[in-house]
Amino acid sequence: MYNKLPVKLSNFHQQALLAWKLCYIHNFSPHKTLLWNNMNITVRNKSLFFPNWFNRGLTYILSLFDNSGNILSYECFMTVHDFPIPFKEYNTVIKAIPTGLVHLVKSHILYNQKDTKESALLLDGISIYDKKCNNKHIRQVFQKRDQIRPRGRSHWAALIDNINWRKAWLLAYKYCIPNKTKEVHFKILHKIYLVNSTISKYVDIPSTCSFCGHEDETLIHLFYSCELVQKFWSNLYSHLNNTPINTQSFNLKDNICYYTDSNKSKEYIFNFFILFTFFIHKQKFMSSLPTLSHFLIEVDSLLKSFRLTSNAKCDRFLKLYEQFFCNGSDGQV
């Protein structure tokens, strides 16, 4: 099949062509055989297409046959379809139809019901011509049929109990935060954030932690279990809760997924700060330790930009922030 083509096809395009050929073979029905652009109905090795026939709705080969399976004569054809055409044009179409195809159609008419009604093209029950069948609908249909389980989901589910994944995925969209902050959060959730233990397999660099320099830098170690990172999270927790240092800290679920609390306003505020695992990412590449003082300076700078921004998310956060964590008129945490 491929040798007859004027170009050499790649393996992928050969497979695609074969797939379409199989679709044609397994869905072939004589009475629905098209007259136009049909490789079997040719004149001098060229397929036919007459616009005036097509515009009259004469699309299928069945329109050239009577109820007994015989090809209509020139006069009968013009009478049945009320379509005057030159005899030469009609004769060209009739002569182009192979004898084998004529017999196939005839036997089909005699022993089967003929129905040339075109099948409706539906996508999940909605016609592709309907305005409801937009890009969003098409994307949702394919997402339902080919659901891909994120690689990080099974990894974190084995370490953390009762994760509300919808809440985890959508957390970053609740706040007006830089895209880079969201990117780091999503990379951690999907377990595609590159750490030294992974990079060292391909590049000649040490696999040890960028902060402590003792243990291998894994995803959990870098953002949670490293003693220097733990100190940062503990100090932040104590600062936000106004409790003594090193008495309590965030757990793994808080740091990786989201923070939960019966007080929804407090939960909303705390999750904003936890999303800034980006700060740890930033300190790693700056070869600097994550400290609370540096973090609060960055947060204060971000809050100042919030106050200059007309945004509903910023307004909501500032309102709750001032209720819970604002000390003094300078607005610092």
> Measured in whole angstroms, how far is the alpha carbon of residue 219 from the centre of its chain?
26
Q: What residues pair up with 208 in beta bridges, in sequence order?
A: 216
Range of the domain at 27: 12-111
What is the predicted pLDDT for the residue at 3?
A: 62
Residue type, 48: L
Is 1 inside any structural domain? no
Q: Name the pairing type of β-strands 42-43 and 46-47.
A: antiparallel
* 51, 166: one domain: no
Q: In this structure, are 237 and 137 located in the same domain? A: no
Q: For the chain, how many structural domains are there in total?
A: 3
Assigned domain for 288 exists: yes
Q: pTM for this structure?
A: 0.56
CB 173 within 8 A of CB 159: no
CB 168 within 8 A of CB 258: yes
Is residue 64 within 8 A of residue 77, CB to CB? The reply is yes
The whole-angstrom separation of Cα 185 and Cα 276 is: 8
| Residues 163, 295 share a domain | yes
Nearest by Cα to 269 from 298, 299, 243: 299
107 and 204: one domain? no
Q: Are residues 298 and 161 in the same domain?
A: yes
Asked whether residue 4 is domain-assigned, the answer is: no
- Rounded to whole angstroms, the Cα distance separating 326 from 320 reads 9
Tokens of 42: 């040719």
CA dist., res. 157 & res. 163, Å (int) = 7
The C-alpha atoms of residue 247 and residue 324 are separated, in whole angstroms, by 21
In a domain, 7, yes or no: no
pLDDT at res. 112:
65
Greatest Cα pair distance, the chain, in angstroms, is: 102
Could you tell me if 307 and 161 lie in one domain?
A: yes
Residue 132, number of CB atoms within 10 A of its CB: 10
CA distance 109 to 124: 33
Q: Are residues 188 and 308 in the same domain?
A: yes
How many Å is the Cα radius of gyration of the chain? 35
Phi, psi for 65 (deg, rounded to 5): -115, 150
Answer whether residue 65 is part of any domain.
Answer: yes
Tell me whether residue 6 is in a domain: no
* Rounded average pLDDT per 10-residue block, the chain, 333 residues: 66 76 62 81 89 87 85 89 88 89 82 60 81 86 73 88 90 88 91 92 92 92 92 87 71 89 84 85 92 89 87 86 58 43
- Which of 111, 133, 163 finishes a domain? 111
Separation of alpha carbons 224 and 211, rounded Å: 12
